[in-house]
């Protein structure tokens, strides 16, 4: 298994899986839901990564903004998981700042 992006410092490790769909959320019985296959995939990465002792390990699904902004947080089996979007239609400075905000969670 190969993650898209893994960032690590002395305190934590962030595993980021990037996705692109026309819609980041699916409709299920009239409500919007995260695509379950994506959640299973990030959980598999978290479950199988080498946890460095003393480091918090965080999973993230990162989507380009195609509708509304997403900034969601979950815990899956004690792992924090974030679902976030970035608007790639904005100028580079905005995108750069958003990505920096995302990894400073």
Question: What pLDDT, in 10s, does the model give residues 8-60?
Answer: 888 889 999 999 877 777 777 778 778 888 889 999 998 887 665 678 899 99
CB atoms within 10 A of CB 15: 21
**pLDDT greater than 60 at residue 99:** yes
The closest of 58, 44, 46, 45 to 11, measured between CA atoms, is 58
Total-model pTM: 0.86
Q: How far apart are CA 21 and CA 72, in angstroms?
A: 17
For CA atoms 79, 1, 25, 30, give the dihedral sign.
negative
Domain count, the chain: 1
Q: How far apart are CA 61 and CA 9, in angstroms?
A: 19
Domain that holds residue 46: 5-103
């Amino acid at each position: 298994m190969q993650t898209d992006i893994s960032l690590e410092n002395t305190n934590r490790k962030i595993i980021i899986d990037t996705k692109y769909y026309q819609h980041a959320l699916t409709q299920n019985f009239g409500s919007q839901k995260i695509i379950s296959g994506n959640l299973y995939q990030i959980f598999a990465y978290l479950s199988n990564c080498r946890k460095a002792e003393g480091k918090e390990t965080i999973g993230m699904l990162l989507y380009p903004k195609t509708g509304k902004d997403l900034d969601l947080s979950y815990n899956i089996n004690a792992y924090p998981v974030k679902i976030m979007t970035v608007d790639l239609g904005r100028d580079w400075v905005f995108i750069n700042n958003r990505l920096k905000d995302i990894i400073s969670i």
